[in-house]
Every structure is written in C-alpha cells, then in structure tokens.
Amino acid sequence: MKKFYLFLTIVGLVITACQQTPKTVAVDIEAEKAVIDSLFNKFTSAFGEKDVAALASYLHEDALCLATDPSEFWNKQQMTEMWTQMLADFDPVLNYISKREIRVAADGNTATVVDQYIMPGFSPKILWRNAYHVIKTNGIWKINFLNCSFIPKNEDMPKLIEALQ
C-alpha cells in the first residue's frame, strides 16, 4: 500500500512538472490609455451634441450609474432615460479643470478614468467629478461603472456645512 501511495505521489509530481506555464501576454498600457482616451473624447462629444443613443452605446449592458443624490442608483436603461430628460432642457457645457486621469490594470482588461470639470450652466461654483470603471470585452472598452459627484474644495466645506444647517 505504501508503494502505491509513493507511486501516486511520483506520478502527480511528474504530471505537475510537465505542465506548460501559460505565456504572459505583454500589454501596451500606453496604447490602451490612448484607446480609452479616444473613447472618452467621443463620449464627451456625444454629451455635448445631446446624442443619447451614442452615450448609451458606451455603457456596458450591466452598467451601474450613480449620480449626485444618494437615491440615484441606475442601470443602463435608467441612465439613458435620465440623459434623454436632462439633455432635452439643458445645454451641457463642461469646462475641464484638470487633465483626464486614466489608470489601466496590468492585465489590460480594466481601467479607471476620472474627469473633473465645472458645469457653468448648472453649478458655476461647485466642481464635479466623474469616475468611471471601464472593462474590455471582446476587444471593446465599455463603461461598467459611472459615478458623478460634486467635489467642493476643502476651504469651501465650512460654508457649505453652515448653509445646510
């Protein structure tokens, strides 16, 4: 019986040792960043052109979209409806206050994107931040998570807290 276990152990080691290690594919992070930046330039243009169908095409089917109110947890369809409603009555102008930040994961299949801006027609003194998580499926980048939030400056926080009391 001991010989049988020894034999099984040796066979297991041989099989394990003979396995080929999967080849790691080098990912060109800078190329992926360029593709993602281009996608977001098109996304931003569609927003400015009030093209809701184009905006929706950049969202993944399982996208989760969060807006500024704690109750605003939307799926792709709800986000599309909100854009349709909002853009019907509003002329979106975004004045960017910083360079777009793009962080691509080492495997090249996910990334985080951050845009910061002022929307003068809506809130000329409160800054906005959109944070996105994008995923690559079948070679195509899609927005899987979108979070839109106000980002008051730290020095303005006491004024906001006082105003809300």
pLDDT digits (tens, 9 = 90+) for 119-142: 998 888 889 999 999 999 999 999
Q: Does residue 33 have a pLDDT over 90?
A: yes
Residue 125 structure tokens: 């003194």
- Can you list the domains of the chain with their CATH numbers? 28-152 (3.10.450.50)
CA dist 109 and 160 (Å) reads 40
**Please, what's the b/e burial string for 148-164 (b: 16 or more CB within 10 A of its CB; e: otherwise)?**
eeeeeeeeeeeeeeeee
Those residues whose C-beta lies under 8 Å from the C-beta of residue 44, and which sit 6 or more positions away, are 94, 115
Give residue 122's pLDDT. 83
23 secondary structure, DSSP code: P
Direct distance between the N- and C-terminal alpha carbons of the chain, in angstroms, rounded to an integer = 79
| Cβ contacts of 96 within 8 Å, gap of 6 or more | 115, 116, 117
Neighbours of 79 (CB within 10 A): 22
Contact 58, 143 (CB under 8 A): yes
Mean pLDDT for the chain? Answer: 90
Side chain identity, residue 2 = K
**Per-residue model confidence as pLDDT tens digits over 57-90:** 999 999 999 999 999 999 999 999 999 999 998 8
Query: Got the DSSP string for 8-70?
Result: HHHHHHHHHHTPPPPPPPP--HHHHHHHHHHHHHHHHHHHHTT-HHHHHHTEEEEEEEE-SST
Share of the chain above pLDDT 90, in %: 69
Mean pLDDT of 16-34: 80
pTM of the model: 0.82
User: CB–CB of 144/164 below 8 Å?
Assistant: no
